Amino acid sequence: MTSSEISDVAYACDIPAERPWSRVLTKGQTLRIIDSEGQQAVDALLYCADDPAERYSSQDTLRVQGSAYVELGTRLISNKGRVMARITADSCGRHDTSAGCCSCESNAVRFGEATRYQHACRENFILELSKHGLTKRDIVSNLNFFMNAPIDPSGQFTVVDGISAPGNYVDVTADMDVLFVISNCPQVNNPCNGFNPTPIRAVVRDMSGL
Amino acid sequence: MAETKPDIAEANRRRYEELRAAGQNLTPKGLPEPTALDGAPIVPDALIHHEQVPAGWYATVRLRRGEALRILDECGRSSVSLIGWREEDTSERINCADTVKVQWSAALSKGRVILSDMGRVLLSLVEDTSGAHDLLVGGSTPSSTLAAFGAATRNTRENFLAAAAKIGLCIRDIPPCVTFFAPVSLDDAGRFLWNPLRKRPGDFVDLRAEMNLVVVASNCAHPLDPARPVATGPVTLIKHRVPPPRDNDLCRTASPEAARAFAFTDRLYA
């Protein structure tokens, strides 16, 4: 980070590999998610802090944007059609919001029964959401920062090697008070984490994006 | 055998590449042609219930495992958004993201399945004349109709809210939806395109329930349909009995992933 960014840091922490995290961002605060070692997918859910029934919606976000990937300038839209946050800086270039989060159950379908008993993002989300009175019902569509999952014109979908380099970051600036929930993705069965989950860093600044 | 971390990562990468090759080459080649418009008549004995849903409206349908729902767009101008829950535990519900990634494709067609969030099959596309459906953009909302028409009209978001409320559910229970007869594709830059030539009068899908389900079908113009709002007409929902799946069932054998999802689903009823 540059010195100008250090000056207004309100909060910073490293999120270990495979672990969840959550924090309320107040309106105007910016969360920087840093892919510390590169090629690490970061699954994220957003809820309106005042009324968690209002939450991030991938389909609303893509409909409003008219295109399939999250990138610099993307407005993150709620299930009530409001802007919850926006992407205000991005040194990676493209993020997914159509692939959902990994779960023990979907891993078993995708990669075989033997992968059912591996830690997964939905386990993280369920535990982290329980701190806020929310349940599996509340896990809807999520963001996958630093995940490279192109969809081609025929509809073919692939999770390919992550394009994020060590230190790449994405800034999310809150347009309302939002509960921001992260699962630092534990997936070891596809290239979203380079088959090797690693730590990430979360930094919250009071200034809005650059 | 002691394996090092790089060994495990390498083995996992190999398995991923093998699954990818099968999922993107072998599986699509094995999928059937679309159903002909006159290709799957429903015999009178198989009919359970039949209703017409006016443009802008919705219907809630309960399906037992093994029953099928035909959604028929007689006028060729409508789109139907659909969500569904497992009847015995409504925390289990349609999951569009898993539907896409498990099948390596955002394109639904005859022989494909729609998954729940629990690694089980909700619905099988046992007949489909269209193959042009949307899993990415979702249905219309108050703000999408306002932007399109200059006035908020009836829309899928509010239809889902009303339908959910009538079975004791609420906004928290409304997941992303699939929309049938919504020919959305992507260009190379990832922008969404609408392909009007892929809509025909008489298009239908037959969705076979693989669990006991409650589904909601909303008959509202898709937000990307440029012909809205005058476009839409009524659609017909036909609940009917289909033959029990055999060992060579198209949907059950379409891919190793589908076979596993069906095996996990069958355990609920074993």
Interface contact flag, A106 B102, Cβ < 8 Å: yes
> Nearest residue on chain B to A59, judged by CA atoms?
B137
pLDDT band per the 50, 70, 90 thresholds, residue A3: very low
Which pLDDT does position A157 carry in this prediction?
87
A110-154 pLDDT, tens per residue? 999 999 999 999 999 999 999 999 999 999 999 999 998 999 888
Which DSSP category does B22 fall into? Answer: I
Sequence-distant (≥ 6) Cβ neighbours of residue B142 within 8 angstroms: A81, B152, B155, B157, B158
What is the share, in percent, of chain A residues with pLDDT greater than 90?
86
Can you tell me the ipTM of this complex? 0.94
- Tokens representing A12 are 């910073």
Residue A210 has pLDDT above 50, yes or no: no
A62-82 pLDDT, tens per residue? 999 999 999 999 999 999 999
Residue A2 has pLDDT above 70, yes or no: no
Instruction: Tell me if chain A has a CB within 8 Å of the CB of B152.
Output: no
* Residue A54, helix vs strand vs coil: coil
Element (H, E) at B259: helix B256-267
pTM: 0.96
The CA-based angle A20-A22-A23, given to 5 degrees, is 160
User: Quick count: other Cβ atoms within 10 Å of Cβ A95?
Assistant: 24
> Nearest residue on chain A to B265, judged by CA atoms?
A109
pLDDT band per the 50, 70, 90 thresholds, residue A159: confident
**Mean pLDDT rounded to a whole number for chain A:** 94
Which pLDDT does position A155 carry in this prediction?
86
A117-149 CB burial, b ≥16 within 10 A, e <16: ebbbbbbbbbebbeeeebebbbbbbbbbbbbbb
Averaged over A15-42, what is the pLDDT?
97
Instruction: Tell me if chain A has a CB within 8 Å of the CB of B22.
Output: no
Report the C-alpha gap between A69 and B190 in whole angstroms: 7
Element (H, E) at B83: strand B80-86
Report the C-alpha gap between B142 and A190 in whole angstroms: 38
Closest CA to A155 of B225, B16, B182, B265: B182
Which pLDDT does position A161 carry in this prediction?
86
Report the C-alpha gap between B239 and B256 in whole angstroms: 29
Which DSSP category does A166 fall into? Answer: T
Which pLDDT does position A80 carry in this prediction?
97
- Residue B117, min C-alpha distance to chain A (Å): 7
Interface contact flag, B136 A112, Cβ < 8 Å: no
Averaged over A42-67, what is the pLDDT?
98
Looking at this protein, which amino acid is placed at residue A137?
A: R
Which pLDDT does position A14 carry in this prediction?
98
In contact, B177 and B156? CB cutoff 8 Å: yes
Q: Positive or negative, the Cα torsion across A185, A187, A190, A194?
A: positive
- In SS3 terms, A87-112 reads as EEEECCCCEECCCCCCCHHHHHHHHC
Counting Cα atoms < 13 Å in the Cβ hemisphere of A161 gives 6
Interface contact flag, A109 B141, Cβ < 8 Å: no
Which DSSP category does B265 fall into? Answer: H
pLDDT average per 10 residues of sequence, chain B (270 residues): 80 93 91 97 96 97 98 96 98 97 96 98 98 97 89 93 98 98 94 95 98 98 82 93 94 96 96
Of B96, B118, B185, the CB nearest to A105: B118
Which pLDDT does position B228 carry in this prediction?
65
Alpha-carbon B11 to chain mean position: 34
> Nearest residue on chain B to A47, judged by CA atoms?
B172
Averaged over A29-33, what is the pLDDT?
98
Looking at this protein, which amino acid is placed at residue A140?
A: V
- Tokens representing A164 are 């994020």
- Tokens representing B217 are 């079908």
Residue A174 has pLDDT above 80, yes or no: yes
* Residue B231, helix vs strand vs coil: coil
What is the share, in percent, of chain A residues with pLDDT greater than 70?
95
Partner A, chain B 168-227, Cβ-Cβ below 8 Å: 170-177, 185-192, 223-224
Identify any residues that bridge with B25 across adjacent strands, giving them in sequence order.
Answer: none
Which pLDDT does position A209 carry in this prediction?
47
Which pLDDT does position A153 carry in this prediction?
87
Which pLDDT does position B47 carry in this prediction?
98
Identify any residues that bridge with B205 across adjacent strands, giving them in sequence order.
Answer: B71, B128
